[in-house]
Amino acid sequence: MTAAPRSDDPLSREIDAALEGLNLQEIDQPRREPAKRAQTGGSGDARTQRGAVVDVRGNDVFVELGPRMQGVAPLADFATPPKMGEEFDFQSRGREDDLWILSRHVARSATQVLIGDDVQPGALVKAKITGQNTGGLEARVGAVSAFLPASQVGLSREENLGVHLNQTLTCEVVEVDRERKRIVLSRRKVLERERDEARLETVGRISVGQVVKGKVTRVEDFGAFVDIGGGVEGLVHVSNLSHARVEKAGTVLQAGQEVEAQVLKIEDGGKRIGLGLKQLQRDPWADVASRFAVDSIVTGKVTRLQEFGAFVELEPGVEGLVHVSQLAKDRVRRPQDVVKPGQQIQVRIVAVEPGRSRISLSRLDPRGAVLGSEDSVEASVIDEAMKKSSSEPIGTNLGSLFKRALDKGKK
């Protein structure tokens, strides 16, 4: 049955362009020297004879037809190289140098295409690559000429198609068109199936939570693709690269880098696999409460601003939020009016919630003054001043005690 190509199919358009002006029955025809005209038996008609293969040399198959009768047939007439002793029916076309010239098919006119009924789209065949043209590779499937478009030779387009000359490739028949005298093949479809089978096998061996090793194949801003073997790639999203905030994956990973990652999810039959690097790193939030006590004063870097406040990095992987109401003692409408990304500021720990990975911060001391300002004095300094005031002589000026306390707090 003839498979009619669809005009809107990209592969069909490529085939038409590649085959323009070519007749597959005229390419890769055996070229013989015209040394002697083959002798025929009277009428010139071919005779069918049974023979056994006795030798294969190069592109010739030598056949024993009977006592002291040998012939030679083209290797291209066989779908696969014959074995010694195998018997076949041959047509004899005459004699040349004491050898019968044999063929495994009856000669047909140049306008006929020799395509067996068993060659249908979807069938797997062995194709001997015999030549190359601008559109792809010329091939033979048994005695039938075929064409392998450049885009169908490999999984990706190959620059040097000549490396496949004289090779035998397993291909899938994608088009059989007797009227247009062509069989079109695809090796890519075969390779894709093999890749998919290898991927399914690899996916069957991994599970969520498993640690795998792989190599980074490609890096985008949003993440890095990692080959974990068997034709399987996983994606490490930028959010899973590190506990510290990462804006672009390229700042952490490079193509070719070997990594160890944890499988986070497997979706769509293994076509989408999520990986994580930070899951194998120490979690900075595990003991954050022991490092950041409530009411302690620390210094951090402003990382980003939102309408509701500013995020401050206290250490790699640990950020806290200063609500807009805690940025200054006066009302703040926009955080960027008070602080800028990259700025180092003093903050006070208001609350620590390790389970939610949250730390609430404030730029104000308990009395509402901005930390680090002249108005800001730690409560302990004020308390010390008050204690000293009770032991000073009655004539001592309380204001001077507070001044000394303020001076002490600034040291």
CATH of 204-280, one of 3.40.50.300, 3.40.50.1980, 2.40.50.140, 3.10.100.10: 2.40.50.140
What's the average model confidence in pLDDT over 117-130? 81
Q: In whole angstroms, what is the distance from residue 203 CA to residue 404 CA?
A: 72
Write out pLDDT tens, residues 333-344. Answer: 899 888 999 899
CA distances from 324 to 283, 338, 344 (A): 28, 10, 17
Enter the CATH code of domain 10-22+110-192.
2.40.50.140
Distances (CA, A) of 295 to 10, 164, 180, 351, 365: 68, 74, 85, 8, 9
Q: Which among 13-17, 91-95, 300-304 has the top mean pLDDT? A: 300-304
Checking if the pLDDT of 279 tops 70, the result is: yes
**Cα–Cα distance measured from residue 239 to residue 365, given in angstroms and rounded to the nearest whole number:** 34
φ, ψ of residue 328 to 5 degrees: the values are -155, 165
Residues 6+ apart with CB under 8 A from 129: 137, 138, 139, 148, 164, 165, 166, 167, 168, 169
Beta carbons of 364 and 329 less than 8 angstroms apart: yes
Output the average pLDDT for the chain.
79
Is residue 60 within 8 A of residue 29, CB to CB? The reply is: no
User: Domain residue spans in the chain?
Assistant: 10-22+110-192, 27-108, 204-280, 288-362, 379-410
Are 27-108 and 204-280 equal in CATH topology? yes
Lowest mean pLDDT among 62-76, 92-106, 212-226, 267-281: 92-106
Mean pLDDT of 297-308: 91
DSSP sequence for 73-99: EEGGGSSSPPPTT-EEEEEEEEEETTE
Q: Which residues pair with 237 in a beta bridge?
A: 223
Q: Quick one: fold of 27-108?
A: OB fold (Dihydrolipoamide Acetyltransferase, E2P) (2.40.50)
Residue with tokens 């030798």: 55
Single-letter amino acid code for the residue at 29: Q
Query: Looking at the predicted structure, is the pLDDT value of residue 377 above 70?
Result: no
Taking residue 81's Cβ as centre, other Cβ atoms within 10 Å add up to 11
Question: Is the pLDDT at 53 greater than 90, yes or no?
Answer: yes
Which 8-state DSSP code applies to residue 409? H
- Among 17-21, 59-63, 196-200, 273-277, the range scoring the smallest mean pLDDT is 17-21
User: By the 8 A CB rule, do 350 and 321 touch?
Assistant: no
Residue 397: predicted pLDDT: 52
What CATH topology corresponds to 288-362? OB fold (Dihydrolipoamide Acetyltransferase, E2P) (2.40.50)
Residue predicted with more confidence, 87 or 44: 87
pLDDT at 36: 38
